[in-house]
Each structure stands twice: as C-alpha cells, then as structure tokens.
Structure 1
Amino acid sequence: MHYGALLAALMLVASCKSQLQPTVSKEQYYQIDSTLQADTGIVNYYSPYKAKLESEMNRVIGYSDVALQKDNGEESLAGNFFADALLWKGKQLDPDVQASFGTKGGIRSGLKAGNITVGNIFEMMPFENAVTVLTLGGEDMLRWAAFMAKTGGQPVSGVRLDIRDGQVENFLVQGKPVDPKATYKLVTYDYLANGGDYVTCFDNVLARKDHAQRIRETLMEYVSDLTKNGKHIQGKIDGRVRIVK
C-alpha cells in the first residue's frame, strides 16, 4: 500500500475510534444484595433446568467404604482411586496399556465415605480433560519416572516407584524393570500429554491416541461398574509410590 493511502487509512480508523468512545452523563450505582428482587421471568425460565441438573448431580452411582483423602504426599487414597480408574479404562481402549498417570494438582478433591454421587465426581474432576494413550520408548519411561521422583510422587497405577532424595531408586512397570530399548503404553489425559502441570517427559512420544472419553466420565463408569458387580470403593495405600530414607 502507498504510504499516503496507509496514513489516510490510519487517520480514518483513529477518527472512527474517537467518535465511538462511550461517554457517561450520569453515574448511578446499584447495590446487589438480598434486597434485590429476582426477575420472576428469568427464574421461571431456568428453574426446570436447575431442578433437572440438581437431580442428576445428586444421583447416587456407588458407595465408598472409606473417605478417599486428597493430599500432596507421594501416595494418597484419592490418587490411587483416580489412577486405578484411569488404568481400567485405558485397558478397555487398548489392551496393551500397562500404566496410568495423573497429577496431584489435577485431582481437585477427595471423596467422602458413603454414597458417591455424580456431583462428587464432578468435584473431583471438574475439567474437560480427555483420555490419551501414549506409546513411549523405555528411555522416556525412565524420564517419566524421574519427573515423578523429582516432584515427590504422582498418582499412578501399574507401576512401583521408590524415591530417595528426589531421585529414582527403583522403578517397575507391571512388576518388571524398564527396558530402555522396549516400548510401553501409558494412559493419561490430553492436558498432561500436552505438557500441562510442567510435565516435560512426553515431548518425544512414539505414538499418541486421543479419545473422546472424558476423565470424569471414566471415573463415573468405574464407580458404576463396581456397583453393578456388587462392590464398593475400597481405597488403600499399597506402597506403589514410596519415599525411602
């Protein structure tokens, strides 16, 4: 574009912008509190949807014999439940999946003892993260173990990890040491596969398969499957991740 034409265009934009600046002739503030009357038209419009949503959130899908606490230790009841559910779904999607991985920060709350509702699962995983299966070489599996050791352990299933002074002391996948020349399949979710939560060990994957299945849906299916088979959630600390001294 010719410089003269460009200058004219810029002046026109600036002129239009200045003409569109809002002006306030009289300021008035409104107090928003319990004295403010609700718009009955709006309330009547959304009330049926609100009732339907509350009914679904309060629907009982299972029962937990113990409270699944969420904490930032190397292993937690909530973390074990989460990772076990993820591995359960991963094996359904791909029978070759050997391990699962989440992060402590990704689990937003634990689960209470007693009836477990759809709403409880939403509280644990409110995000729209979806299931992802990664194929990794053995060396990158060891990088993954190093990441977990450095961060004091993370929610996992299918592995055994011993940590000493922030370093990997022992790491087993399905009860066996990792072969640096072998390949492994790991189920996680898209946010972590994309490098979320400072995960840097998935930058060299051999293959990646993203699924439409949401993590939240996976948790609900897992609990419902236990219920269908006459089982309760029975969380326990089993030493899958340990900090040794």
Structure 2
Amino acid sequence: MDTSIVADSSIINYYAPYKAKLEAAMNRIIGYAEGPITRNRNAPESLMGNFFADALLWKGKQLDQEVQASFATKDGIRADLHAGDITVGNIFEVMPFENAVCILTLSGGDMLRLADYMVKTGGQPVGGIELVIENGKAKEFLVEGKPIDPDAHYKLATYDYLANGGDYVTFFDKPIAREDYTQLLRETLMQYVSGITKQGKHVQAQLDGRIQIIK
C-alpha cells in the first residue's frame, strides 16, 4: 500500500464517529499525578509497583474485608504515568490486558513460597507485605506487620493471570480457596485514581522500604 491508493471516503465517514467517541473516552481526565510514577525492573520496589499493588490491595479489601495483602509482578505493568493529568488512555497503557482481580486464600507455607519467589526475582510489587532480603534469603517477611505463621491462612488479592501460573508463579497451585471476580485490573486502577481525585487530592507514590535488599 502507498499514496497511490485513494482512501474510501464512505468507509472513513462510517468509522469517524466511532473514532471520535473512542478518542474522547480515552482522553477523559480522571486524576492528576504530583510527579512521575515510574517502573524500575532492577530495583526491589518502584513507584509504579507500589502504586499498582496499593490499588490492588484497596480493591481487594473492598471485595473482601479479610484481604491482608496484594501481589503483582513487574512484567505485568506495561507503562509509567507522567506527572500531570492522568487519562483513561494512560491507565490502558499501564494495564492493556484483560486481567481480572482474584482473591486467594493461602496457607502460611504458600506465603513463604511467595517470599522465596520475590527473593529469587529481586522483589515484586506487593501491598501489605514487608520483606527484607539478605544474602539471597528472606531475613524478615511480614504481613500486616506480623511474621508469617506457617499454620495460619492468609487472603491475598492478585489477578487471574498470576493465579493461573503466569510469570512462572507456581506457589498459587493449591490455594485453600479461590474467588474470581469480573473486576478488571484497569477498572480497579481507574476507580482508585478517581477516588483519590474525588477526595480533592492528587495521585502520589513513594518508596517506603516495603522490600529491601541488604547485600
């Protein structure tokens, strides 16, 4: 195809209203970021990872008040947010996939397997969790500020792709219980941003030491 091919005006006229409607929806502003919210695959935590995991934990607690933690992966987050206006289209860039929220009930032993995965991969986006890695091992692993009890059960918000074994996640293979929701991850992010905006606030993210690597 080259410039010698003339565009069919009847086709353009047909899809133009839909294109305009889509662009208007994607350009709708839902919030404002105080500063850049960025990824960093080489760091144990990142601004975007913390923002993403906190939004997931927020929604998890809405769906089930007993949810204690959230878990995502660095590779699942596909874009940064720039400082300034946040649009619907920006959220689609962050999470372009049709992944949906999933809440798992896990044994303490499986939570420790999750910690081992984070040790091996140099940290992953989590909420409600604190992990200190030293000499290639989990020195400290806390959920809601408390050490893991191998005999206890824990409720964790994640998404179906990971619950099904994506990104080499094997520790979700035998959950005590699993609840799948129709709530898409990007819907969660949009609601999270919109909720902050309705409170008259700007979206912020910070590094808080939830995952630390001590050489």
Normalising to structure 2: TM-score of the pair?
Answer: 0.98
Instruction: Measure the CA separation in 1 of the matches of 2:13 and 2:25.
Output: 20
Instruction: Measure the CA separation in 2 of the matches of 1:37 and 1:71.
Output: 45
Q: Equivalent residue for 2:55?
A: 85
Unpaired runs of at least 5, structure 1: 1-31
Instruction: Measure the CA separation in 1 of the matches of 2:212 and 2:5.
Output: 55
Q: How many residues align?
A: 214
* 2:25 matches 1:56: yes
State the percentage of identical aligned residues. 64
Q: Equivalent residue for 2:195?
A: 225
Q: Where do 1:60-71 residues align within 5 Å?
A: 60-71=29-40
Could you tell me which of 154, 158, 174 is aligned with 1:184? 154
Could you tell me which of 113, 119, 127 is aligned with 1:157? 127
Instruction: Measure the CA separation in 1 of the matches of 2:135 and 2:6.
Output: 60
Instruction: Measure the CA separation in 1 of the matches of 2:174 and 2:189.
Output: 28
Q: Equivalent residue for 1:212?
A: 182
- Consecutive aligned runs of 4 or more in structure 1 exceeding 4 Å deviation: none
Instruction: Measure the CA separation in 2 of the matches of 1:105 and 1:33.
Output: 37
Give RMSD over aligned pairs: 0.8
CA offset at residue 51 of structure 1?
0.2
Instruction: Measure the CA separation in 1 of the matches of 2:4 and 2:184.
Output: 41
Instruction: Measure the CA separation in 2 of the matches of 1:54 and 1:218.
Output: 21
CA offset at residue 165 of structure 1?
3.4
Select the structure of larger CA radius of gyration: 1
Instruction: Measure the CA separation in 2 of the matches of 1:206 and 1:185.
Output: 10
Give the conservation status (yes or no) of the 8 Å contact 1:146–1:167: yes
Q: Equivalent residue for 2:9?
A: 40
Unpaired runs of at least 5, structure 2: none
Give the conservation status (yes or no) of the 8 Å contact 1:61–1:116: yes
Give the conservation status (yes or no) of the 8 Å contact 1:152–1:166: no
